[in-house]
């Protein structure tokens, strides 16, 4: 009787082989350590697939109390597994040690990559290629701070600025661009947010932009 290896276990082994292949492709110490892991794992995986995994195919039938005489064929596998189990457990120790070396090599390589990226980012900031360099763990906080600053500006001004930036991504400054800017300025200067900005500047206070929350916004005569 044949005892096929359960698909989830086969998929797990295939996934591990794929991960090791990617690690080998990384080269350097990581690649060498991944080769060592693969070499250590291979004989262990072979014996697992020969004598340890196939008996697991019977678990469903045994749980349902569906026992047939042919199932006795599995006993030769379980006998070999019992005999070889001490050696397979020793292999586990060697595999764990190899994985530890792989982890150490990968961490060292990652640290070197991060250091190289940090130097490149600092140089890009120094020469003006980028405006600011933000540590990854603080990136979202900085993004939300900047987004809040933008959102606190007059709604219509932000909308026109975004539209013009997108326009200039696709075209250099042109008569069409100047026309759009002029029309945007005309529309913005007629809004209550614009008037509020001027009053706040003259009164030396923080402006209270309300955008579309004004009554009859943006051109109404309501003074609320």
For position 171, what pLDDT does the model report?
67
Q: What is the C-alpha separation between 116 and 48, in angstroms, rounded?
A: 42
Alpha carbon distance, N-terminus to C-terminus of the chain: 86
For position 218, what pLDDT does the model report?
53
For position 94, what pLDDT does the model report?
92
Q: What is the C-alpha separation between 157 and 150, in angstroms, rounded?
A: 10
For position 172, what pLDDT does the model report?
66
Cα 44 from chain centre:
33
Select from 119, 104, 125, 118 the least CA-distant residue to 34: 104
DSSP 64-100: TT---GGGGGHHHHHHHHHHHHHHHHHHHHHHHHHHH
Q: Which residues of the chain have pLDDT under 50?
A: 221-224
| pTM listed for this prediction | 0.54
Fold of 136-213: Lyase 2-enoyl-coa Hydratase; Chain  A, domain 2 (1.10.12)
Token pair recorded at residue 25: 């492709």
For position 224, what pLDDT does the model report?
44
- What are the residue ranges of helices labelled H in the chain? 7-25, 28-47, 59-63, 74-126, 139-151, 155-170, 175-189, 192-202
Contacts of 224 (CB under 8 A, 6+ apart): 214, 215
pLDDT tens for 21-61 read: 998 898 888 999 999 999 998 888 888 888 888 888 888 88
SS3 for 219?
coil
The domain ranges of the chain are 7-126, 136-213
């Amino acid at each position: 009787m044949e005892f096929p290896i359960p698909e989830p276990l086969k998929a797990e082994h295939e996934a591990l082989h794929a991960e090791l292949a990617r690690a080998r492709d990384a080269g350097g110490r990581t690649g060498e350590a991944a080769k060592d892991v693969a070499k250590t794992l291979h004989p262990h995986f072979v014996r697992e697939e020969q004598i340890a995994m196939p008996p697991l195919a019977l678990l469903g039938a045994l749980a349902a109390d569906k026992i047939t005489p042919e199932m006795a064929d599995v006993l030769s596998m379980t006998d070999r597994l019992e005999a070889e189990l001490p050696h397979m457990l020793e292999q586990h120790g060697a595999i764990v040690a190899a994985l530890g070396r792989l982890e150490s090599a990968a961490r060292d390589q990652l640290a070197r990559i991060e250091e190289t990226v940090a130097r490149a980012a600092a140089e890009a900031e120094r020469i003006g290629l980028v405006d600011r360099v933000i540590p990854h763990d603080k990136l979202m906080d900085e993004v939300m701070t900047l987004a809040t600053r933008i959102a606190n500006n007059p709604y219509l001004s932000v909308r026109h600025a975004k539209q013009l930036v997108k326009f200039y991504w696709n075209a250099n400054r042109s008569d069409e661009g100047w026309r759009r800017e002029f029309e945007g300025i005309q529309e913005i200067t007629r809004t209550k947010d614009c008037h509020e900005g001027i009053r706040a500047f003259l009164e030396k206070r923080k402006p209270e932009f309300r955008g579309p929350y004004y009554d009859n916004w943006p051109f109404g005569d309501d003074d609320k």
